[in-house]
Structures are given as structure tokens and as C-alpha cells.
Amino acid sequence: MVDEGPIAGDEDSHIKATSNVSLEQRAWNIRRKALLMGEVQGQGYIGQALGIADVLSASYFHALNYKPTDPEWEGRDRFLLSIGHYAIALYSVLMEAGILPEDELETYGMDDSRMPMSGMASYTPGMEITGGSLGHGLGIGVGMALGLKRKKSDAFIYNLMSDGELGEGSTWEAAMSAAHHGLDNLICMVDFNDQQADGKSTQMLCAEPLPEKWEAFGWHTQRVDGNDMKAVVKALDIARNLEAKKPRVIIFNTKMCKGVPFLEEREISHFVRVEADEWRKALAVLEEGKPQ
């Protein structure tokens, strides 16, 4: 869905990927911004930010319709961050998209910052909901999707949630409701990194087999490698262009700390420990893998 020019009669068009900035480069930029913000506080959910960067890049620079100068544009697609602790990742892509100014990067997590460590809609332009109480995002998404239907809007709801939220009953209540109402304007994206605070998600409360579960609830289901840009783009295109009158879910298998090998290897990565001298090392390692 590349659009390098304005919509007719609309000089403030939604942003799309430009020919000289690849989605891979955007993802690299998102990872770099996240690391720089993490260095400011010396902490943050950096493992998740590095892992989901490819999905965020494809979402914001390929799939979503929005206007950087008007985050509340009525015709926008809504991107819901159900997992509020992923805020550092969303801030990074909002900066990359021009919704947040990059000169606010060093205010991350500070008093009076527009970028608190857990996402809050009242603070941050482009942040649609306040996440953090896991299992609420999809339910909110169902309500928003119903509202857009009643307004006869062409906009989509994209809800990003974690694999840990699959253990919440409210998630499956929302999934059942979405199918009942035939919400073909709702796309749920599950970040399956198999990590929770207490260990692997599959060892806490295993939700497998996931594709079969979602299909049984009446959803069109895909499962792809969330760190393979071509696969991510294809999955997003299929979800958006599907003719079936049903909600769509994409399960993205992602790797925590993707792009920084020495962090990828750490056993505990839900809130990965990064020593003070390792932030610069991580940035240097990321630089070595910069897209050409």
C-alpha cells in the first residue's frame, strides 16, 4: 500500500514508505531508537522492542493509513498497543513516522515526559489506548471495530497483543464476540516470543495449538516468522484484503532482542538485564548489521 503522493484534495496525506527507505531500514531505525531510549533510563523492555521492530515497520510504513500531523484524523486506521510495557517500541516507530519529534527521545521515562515507560493514551500522540492491564486490548478493539462499522468507515483496527495475553479469559471472550459480529475490519497481531516474566509462555499456560484455536473461534488465521520482512508484509496484505466477513489474526513468531546477538542469547529476556557499559556495545553490534 505504497502512496508517495497526497490524496487528491488532501495536502496532508497519510505517510507511506518512500522509495529510498526500505522497510528493513525502518526496522533498523526503530531498533536503534529503542536502544537509545533504553540507555537513557538504563532499563526498559528492550527485548520486546528489538523483536517486534519488523512487524512495526511493516505496519506503519506499509499497511496503516494515518497522518503524522493529525494523529486523531477520523479516517485513520487505529493501532492498539494492548501490551503497554512495549511502549518503548511504539515510541520508536512513532518517532520514525514523524508523529513524535525525535528530539524528545532523551526524555523517555522522565517526569513530565510524553513517553512514560508504560504506554498511556492521555500522554502520547498516536497512542490510541492505555495498555498494561493485559487482556484488555482486543476487547477494546472489538468495540472500536463495531463503532467504525456503524459509522460506515473504511478504517481498520490493528491490535498488537502478547502471547501471554492468550492466557486471559477476556481475550477469548473478545475473540468470540468479534467473530459473532463478523468484524472484517479487525486485525489482531499476536507477538509470540514465548517469554513471560516467569519463563516461557508455553510453560506457564500453553495455548497451543494456536492456529486451530483461533480458527475454531471463527477467525481467519495466519502464522508467520515475525522477523522475516517479506513474510510479515505478505501476511498483512492477506489480512487486509481478505474478502471473508470475519476477523483476522496473524501470529508472529519473533525472537527476543533480535539484531543484538549477545542479548539474544540471554536466558532471561522478558526484562533483559543490560549493564551500563552494554548499551553502547549493543548499538555498535546493531550498526554492524545495518541494511545496505
Burial 40-66 (b: 16+ CB within 10 A, else e): beeebbbbbbbbbbbbbbbbbbbbbbb
> Could you report the per-residue pLDDT of 210-260, keeping only the tens digit for each?
999 999 999 999 999 999 999 999 999 999 999 999 999 999 999 999 999
Q: CB of 34 within 8 A of CB of 53?
A: yes
Instruction: Please identify, in words, the CATH class of the domain defined by 23-288.
Output: alpha beta
Backbone angles phi and psi of 186, in degrees to 5? -115, 120
- Element counts in the chain: helices (H) and strands (E): 10, 5
Residue type, 82: S
**Are 179 and 146 contacting, i.e. CB atoms less than 8 angstroms apart?**
no
Domain edges within the chain: 23-288
Reported as a single tens digit per residue, the pLDDT across 16-53 is 544 589 999 999 999 999 999 999 888 788 989 999 99
State pLDDT tens for residues 182-209: 999 999 999 999 887 667 778 788 888 9
- 70 DSSP assignment: -
Q: How far is CA 143 from CA 64, 137, 149, 157, 177, in A?
A: 19, 10, 10, 10, 10
pLDDT, residue 87, reads 94
Distance CA 170, CA 173 (A): 5
Question: How confident is the model at residue 1, as a pLDDT?
Answer: 38
pLDDT at position 4 is 32
By three-state DSSP, how is residue 121 classified?
coil
HSE at residue 141, side-chain half, CA atoms within 13 A, is 36
pTM, rounded to two decimals: 0.91
